[in-house]
Structure 1
Amino acid sequence: MSEGEGQFVFADEKLPKRGAPMTSQPPWRILVVDDDADVHEATRFALKGIPILGRPVEFLHAHSGAEALAVLRREQDIAVLLLDVVMETPDAGLRIVSAIREELQLTNLRIVLRTGQPGQAPEMDAISRYDINDYKTKNELTRNKLFTTITAALRSYEQLRRLDASRRGLEKVIAASNDVMTRSGLRSFAEGIILQIASLIGVPPEGLVCASTPQQLAQNGSVADVEIIAAAGRFSGLTDKPFDNIDEPRITTALRHSLSERRNLIEAHSVTLFFETQDQHAYAVFVDSNEPIHELDQSLLHMFCTNMSLCAQNIRLVSALRDQAYFDRLVSLPNRSAMLRELDRAIDSAGRNEQALALVDIDQFSAVNDLLGHPYGDQLLRAIAQRLSKEFPGCFVARVSGDVFGLLGRCEHLTPEAIGRLFSTPFNIDQVDHPLTVSTGIVHLRDVQGSGSDGIQNAYIALKRAKTAGLDHHAYYSESIANETHDRNRMRIALHRALAKGDQLYPVFQPQLDLLSGRVVGLEALTRWRGDNGAHVSPDRFIPVAEQTALILPIGEWILRRSISVLESLHQHGHTGLRMSVNVSSVQLRQPNFLSILDHALDGSSIRPECLELEITESVAALGINQVRTLLEAIRARGVSIAIDDFGTGFSSLSYLHRLPANRLKIDRSFIHTLEHAQSGRIAEMIVPLGHQLGMKVLAEGVETASQRDRLRALGCDEMQGYLLARPMVADDLAAWLDAYRPNAD
């Protein structure tokens, strides 16, 4: 105390009772800053043993401004500062206040200025500027007034601290909610809840989460068959275990009460939070705590719990969407997306060289659907899925498309023989055995360059190769097969471009001869393709590609219209006895509007339908003999005739042949070339009378020599076409050739 200041003494007053009840909370910390030792002693004596707001008081002491700042930098949780205005300098106290607020940023600390003489009090603007909470002369501070002043300061400090804690708590709740909401899946969500609750109340993450279905909660509030979906700390081994595996009664009791009563339970050393989604899926979270849960923390937990109810609903929705994205509900298997994800993992793993991917395609499954109905087909798919999962337990099994299943596993397990054995036993559907065959494409992951998507693409390349060989075949992916596939793909693109340009594809026409009269009676329209470089692409190469990619549809319609137009022009020039034969692919016949296309082409011209002939191959029987027969009869009813092309090279079957309503049977050129050899010409010898027995005329293709022509005539063959008569020619040359043609005297 500076010289001349009044003495700092306390008058006899009635003090608060000592020994008033106190909480277990830590003491208030008050820093006394004064250069007079008597002031320190008097302050300590005045409040000795007196609780303030239910807590004891602890004094810290400093005798100069520098010492005071050192104490404040070193010590935590100082609530009130009793500061002398005048110490080593007249403004020492104010400079300390400035440092406290601006440098140390102690905004919650309450500052009470004390001075010995009123004349030394700071100006009002100084009090406002320096955030001083109270100012007293030392003579004013009797015991009761000192008690009152400090009580008011402590109450103000506690309110500020609580506001600060609330603000920090809200930030924590927001951060915790954000963290939990970013987690995928219910287990990860539940683990996040445990961690965030523990963080909010400042305890180690020792807890578990239980879930209960709406049906379980609806049974008179009972809680049965509750599953532990996540656990932490010493409970971590209980994840996915039944509720009864918890061997601590206090925990099971708290969880049961929380779930059945639908409320939070805050106990001395634990917290059990309850929340439920809008669709009434309920969760209870138990978190252990060694310390009592503070009132502020309880408020934060209630707020967090409210947020989690919304989060849980979102997580359930996201989980359901994720399940939909990766799961096929029809067959209860993972889907194509799930297979891609699993393939990516397998390709990135150390054991990729020992693994393979097999794609299993059910042969003629679309015919099963068409014949027996989609419900039957669905049952069959489910039965196949169950057998695949059962017989290949170590493999990842998925449905990757309509009737294609994928198997990912070790190479020695995924062999054609193992897959074939699985389908050797018929499937019993509706008490009826249904035999099946499959086509299989297999790729070893060591041959996959890229991601899972590349792996599936390679397996499909192998599968397509297997299917081209017929039913019940398999193929392994190889670089050569891939190159062929890429070549076909490039041809598909080029063919599409050629069709768009309109000048690279063009028709040619090959005359057909009546062997008895020697007259030209018909023309076969053929498609040719001249590429960008002027070179021709063989029909044997581009027609299969056109059929596989459905480009045959626009090409087929174009060649039909163009051929009818050419025939119309020839009729107008006097060649009225000619018919036009146009090849029709099974892909075209499969289109539901094929008859409409045919009618439209005929209606737009003046030729009679009897002058048009459609050539099909025996392979159309694969579409279903009854369906094909109905379609061909509808075509013949219009007056258009039917020719069976390339007989003997496709799905040759007399049972099919006699049921197809055809007018003409064409012998494939491969049988004509053997006619000049006595032992090799017997097939052609059999086909001619066979065709006549079935009521058809017989035409031989690819006739190149006079001896072949003569032999066919001797066999009774009706017609022929080939280089001996004429090569295919463009429309501009056709009329002139017909005008110049004279029947051969031979």
Structure 2
Amino acid sequence: MDDLMLTIIDDEITTVDDQSNDLKKWKIAIIDDDQGVHDVTKLALSGVKILGRKIEFISALSGEEGRLLLKDNPDCAVILLDVVMETSDAGLELADKIRNELLMDNVQIILRTGQPGYSPEEEIISRYEINDYKTKNELTRDKLFTSIATAIRSYNHLRALDESKKGLRNVIEASASLMKERSVHDFASGVLQQINALFNLSSQGIFCVSQSPSDGPIELIDESDSQYFVVATSPSFHDFYGKDLQDISNSHEVEIAQNTLINKQNQIQENLCSLYLSTPSGWEGVVVINSPLSLNEVDEELLKLFCLNISLGLENAKFFTHLNNAAFYDEVTGLYNRTGFIEKSSEILKSAKSSMALFIVDIDYFHEIIESLGFEFGNMVLNAVTSSLNRDFLSDGIIARLHSDVFALLLPDTNWHYRDITKECSKPFMIEGNSLRLGVTVGEATCDLSTETFDIELLLRHAEIALKVAKEHQRGVGQLFESKFEDDKRAHLDILADLRNGIANEELFLVLQPKVSMTEGYVVGYEALIRWQHPIKGLISPNAFIPVAEQSGLYFDIDMYVFRKALALIAENPAITKPISVNVSANSLHHSDFISELKKIIAEKDSDISQIEIEITENALVRSDMAIQHLRELKALGFVLCLDDFGAGYSSLSYLLKLPLDVIKIDRSFVTHIEKGAKALFVLEGMLQICQNLSMRVVVEGVETQEQADILIALNADIAQGFFYFKPLTIEEVLIKAL
């Protein structure tokens, strides 16, 4: 494990929201197999206060120790978690247990690793709810403090929300029958009944409240004129229900209600009683009953207390309604959100006889719509899609907007398939008078209720996997989930875990494929190629692990590994005097630490780089100016630079003019067709002529037959690489066959 690099700043301790009160300490768990990391972290944050509390560190040196530690400390606020401990993914396994076994939903997890350039996949970050990710050499004292302070604020906020939810639930459940009503209508109806019970009446009445509070959350405040709606009535006033007071005429009850609201106090007349209600957030209400109310002193106090309880109950009912909507419904479309969708799925299951089908619908290129036309137009698009889904499917199942431009549709016993959904959702619709047609991609997952147990979370995961596969291979159509997709994903993760171990244990080795002068017949250089000898699985093809490395952030580690191995090979085999070319991936060329890491490797053993050539592909040059800048820095260091696979991708002749290139490698695809087609021959001849006129060395890849070699020689090509001359050779074979 690499040491944690911390810069200790000798200055006054920084605190956040420092308070003098003596609260209990924040618990921060350090779970790392390097004791030095524990010591340095504690030293760096000693004496710090955050939100007025000191920090208490608890420690574990392995994933299993960490699990037991956290089990005994459920009030831990932040976990500084090493990724690689007793196993290469011990940290991620522990993260899974923290969320799914220990059920610590609020604790903030900050992953730390000593491997620069490695970053977890987005799916891993999302699955384990990772709150932050840092390499250890990033964490100076200031940055560590900032990460901890931010995490504690988030933890404190989440805990406060939990407490608020618990408090609201306790108030509603522990209060009298009135307080148990969770909707404004039910609450108001209960008030009318309770007044009769409290004062031994048999009256009729109405209850109305303001549409929005005057001092509530900004999203609840209506900027229009205040309106008062009748939310509950006794049978005699049923015609008033749901109306604005201003729309009801010729009613003494409404008149006294309006006067009560104007004067903001109770009004008791001979045959009418009107009670004024005001909540802390500024909702106003009035209860009118058409019975005489003769009150003694005790009854007056009881009435005041009752009105206070009604006000508090109204506040709770109003906010509960708002929170319920926020928790289960999407604000933009009015559809269920993910939580509401999952909750409602059990009701849909009751109506299913044989099967359930889940479709996840993703709008193609929605982000481009947002970038071009803005969020307001994007919301119009989302609502148009919502209208289409509601029209076709609302009566049959449930619909949700899971996030951004992704919708979910759950249907029982349906004949719909993803192709039908794609076709239906791709029909044109109108927005602001313009016809718009969208493309969508659909992921489908099904559950046969005769053989499977319905699990909405599992079904969602399967549909999301199918959607991901569809977006990679069938965008604009869709994909039905197949079990092999999950197997492939599991295999991907297995290879990734093994690959990290393989790099650490130096299981990867180099083979060399010679480059040959076709006219002279001797070897002029080599290309270094990576191979992996797994201790159990044997030789693993590069096609199996290189894509995994690129997707998972290990590309940089592998490129640096190859570079280090190439230098060692040259040092250990002085008989190999020809240059060795090393491939650098596009991602490495864009890595901010690329040049500095190369210099560090060179300096480690005072290596001679005169025999090292750097090969980069064309697609590495089209992403940013950083790649071109790094290329120039490589040239300044003395490397010979080779442009690999020229002509296969984003070919630009301007590269030959503006970049410090020494060698051009022509892609094998041009050689493959020169025996069969004149066009391929003319193109290849032109490429060779241009490079030769620019005094650049040219290497032709993929030469596999004598006929191809003869044609290339006739075109004045000199250097070739391919199976016709040599397959990739081990170092021992090179020393015997290809010096």
- Superposition TM-score, scaled by structure 2 size: 0.59
Counterpart position of 1:468: 472
| One-letter code aligned to 1:387 | A
Deviation at 1:647, TM superposition (A): 6.0
Counterpart position of 2:544: 541
Counterpart position of 2:496: 495
2:697 and 2:438 map into 1 onto residues whose CA distance is 38
Deviation at 1:385, TM superposition (A): 2.0
Residue by residue over 1:173-222, the C-alpha shift from the partner in whole angstroms, topping out at 9 and shown as x without a partner, is 998835444544544544454454455445679654322145699xxxx9
Residue 287 (structure 2) aligned to one of 263, 285, 292: 285
- Whether 1:693 aligns to 2:695 is no
Asked if the contact 1:667/1:684 (under 8 Å) is kept, the reply is no
Asked if the contact 1:216/1:223 (under 8 Å) is kept, the reply is no
1:656 and 1:452 map into 2 onto residues whose CA distance is 54
Residue by residue over 1:116-141, the C-alpha shift from the partner in whole angstroms, topping out at 9 and shown as x without a partner, is xxxxxxxxxxxxxxxxxxxxxxxxxx
Structure 2 counterparts to residues 232-311 of structure 1, below 5 A: 233=235, 240-243=242-245, 249-266=251-268, 271-287=273-289, 299-311=301-313
- Whether 1:418 aligns to 2:424 is yes
Deviation at 1:703, TM superposition (A): 4.1
Residue by residue over 1:570-605, the C-alpha shift from the partner in whole angstroms, topping out at 9 and shown as x without a partner, is 05643454133224154x556555555555555556
Aligned length: 538
2:253 and 2:289 map into 1 onto residues whose CA distance is 9
Asked if the contact 1:582/1:614 (under 8 Å) is kept, the reply is yes
Deviation at 1:524, TM superposition (A): 3.7
2:690 and 2:673 map into 1 onto residues whose CA distance is 23
Residue by residue over 1:475-503, the C-alpha shift from the partner in whole angstroms, topping out at 9 and shown as x without a partner, is 12232xx4223322332134224414633
Counterpart position of 2:384: 387
Residue 477 (structure 1) aligned to one of 456, 459, 480: 480
| One-letter code aligned to 1:385 | L
Larger Rg: 1
1:264 and 1:615 map into 2 onto residues whose CA distance is 83
Deviation at 1:439, TM superposition (A): 5.2
Residue by residue over 1:133-174, the C-alpha shift from the partner in whole angstroms, topping out at 9 and shown as x without a partner, is xxxxxxxxxxxxxxxxxxxxxxxxxxxxxxxxxxxxxxxx99
Change (3 A) 1:560 1:646: same
Change (3 A) 1:384 1:303: same
Asked if the contact 1:180/1:189 (under 8 Å) is kept, the reply is yes
1:641 and 1:268 map into 2 onto residues whose CA distance is 103
Deviation at 1:254, TM superposition (A): 3.4
Counterpart position of 2:49: none
Q: Cα RMSD between the aligned structures?
A: 4.9
1:237 and 1:608 map into 2 onto residues whose CA distance is 92
Residue by residue over 1:55-108, the C-alpha shift from the partner in whole angstroms, topping out at 9 and shown as x without a partner, is xxxxxxxxxxxxxxxxxxxxxxxxxxxxxxxxxxxxxxxxxxxxxxxxxxxxxx
Counterpart position of 1:137: none
1:590 and 1:205 map into 2 onto residues whose CA distance is 79
| One-letter code aligned to 1:441 | V
Change (3 A) 1:214 1:358: closer
2:716 and 2:366 map into 1 onto residues whose CA distance is 40
**Greater shift in the superposed pair: 320-329 or 630-639:** 320-329
Change (3 A) 1:419 1:647: farther
- Whether 1:631 aligns to 2:627 is yes
Counterpart position of 2:561: 561
SS at match of 1:493: helix
Change (3 A) 1:269 1:498: farther
- Whether 1:210 aligns to 2:208 is yes
Gaps in structure 2 of 5+ consecutive residues: 1-170, 217-223
Structure 2 counterparts to residues 330-349 of structure 1, below 5 A: 335-349=337-351
Residue 360 (structure 2) aligned to one of 350, 358, 361: 358
Counterpart position of 2:462: 458
1:363 and 1:174 map into 2 onto residues whose CA distance is 46
SS at match of 1:442: strand
2:700 and 2:249 map into 1 onto residues whose CA distance is 90
Deviation at 1:252, TM superposition (A): 1.4
1:713 and 1:196 map into 2 onto residues whose CA distance is 103
2:718 and 2:237 map into 1 onto residues whose CA distance is 91
Asked if the contact 1:644/1:666 (under 8 Å) is kept, the reply is yes
1:463 and 1:421 map into 2 onto residues whose CA distance is 20
Structure 2 counterparts to residues 29-428 of structure 1, below 5 A: 177-201=175-199, 207-212=205-210, 213-214=212-213, 225-231=227-233, 233=235, 240-243=242-245, 249-266=251-268, 271-287=273-289, 299-326=301-328, 335-350=337-352, 356-363=358-365, 365=367, 378-379=375-376, 381-394=378-391, 399-406=401-408, 411=416, 415-422=421-428
Counterpart position of 1:740: 736
Gaps in structure 1 of 5+ consecutive residues: 1-172
Change (3 A) 1:355 1:195: farther
Deviation at 1:632, TM superposition (A): 2.9
Asked if the contact 1:595/1:635 (under 8 Å) is kept, the reply is no
Asked if the contact 1:177/1:307 (under 8 Å) is kept, the reply is no
Deviation at 1:506, TM superposition (A): 0.9
2:703 and 2:645 map into 1 onto residues whose CA distance is 14
2:492 and 2:633 map into 1 onto residues whose CA distance is 38
- Superposition TM-score, scaled by structure 1 size: 0.59
**Greater shift in the superposed pair: 344-353 or 507-516:** 344-353
Asked if the contact 1:347/1:452 (under 8 Å) is kept, the reply is no
Residue 513 (structure 1) aligned to one of 512, 515, 535: 515
Deviation at 1:713, TM superposition (A): 3.8
Change (3 A) 1:314 1:387: same
| One-letter code aligned to 1:540 | N
1:196 and 1:698 map into 2 onto residues whose CA distance is 94
SS at match of 1:389: helix
1:742 and 1:176 map into 2 onto residues whose CA distance is 87
2:306 and 2:685 map into 1 onto residues whose CA distance is 90
Asked if the contact 1:560/1:582 (under 8 Å) is kept, the reply is no
Change (3 A) 1:225 1:402: closer
Identity of aligned residues (%): 22
SS at match of 1:606: coil
Change (3 A) 1:314 1:546: farther
Residue by residue over 1:385-429, the C-alpha shift from the partner in whole angstroms, topping out at 9 and shown as x without a partner, is 243234444357654334545566784896223333449x9x99x
Change (3 A) 1:402 1:177: same
SS at match of 2:554: helix
Deviation at 1:236, TM superposition (A): 6.0
Structure 2 counterparts to residues 582-661 of structure 1, below 5 A: 582-586=583-587, 588=588, 593-594=593-594, 597=597, 600-601=600-601, 604=604, 606-608=607-609, 611-616=612-617, 618=619, 625=622, 627-628=623-624, 630-639=626-635
| One-letter code aligned to 1:492 | L
Higher relative contact order (CA 8 A, sep 6+): 2
SS at match of 2:556: helix
Deviation at 1:636, TM superposition (A): 3.3
Change (3 A) 1:176 1:613: closer
Change (3 A) 1:601 1:504: closer
Structure 2 counterparts to residues 673-692 of structure 1, below 5 A: 678-679=675-676, 683=680, 686-687=683-684, 689-690=686-687
Deviation at 1:238, TM superposition (A): 5.5
SS at match of 1:415: helix
2:683 and 2:427 map into 1 onto residues whose CA distance is 40
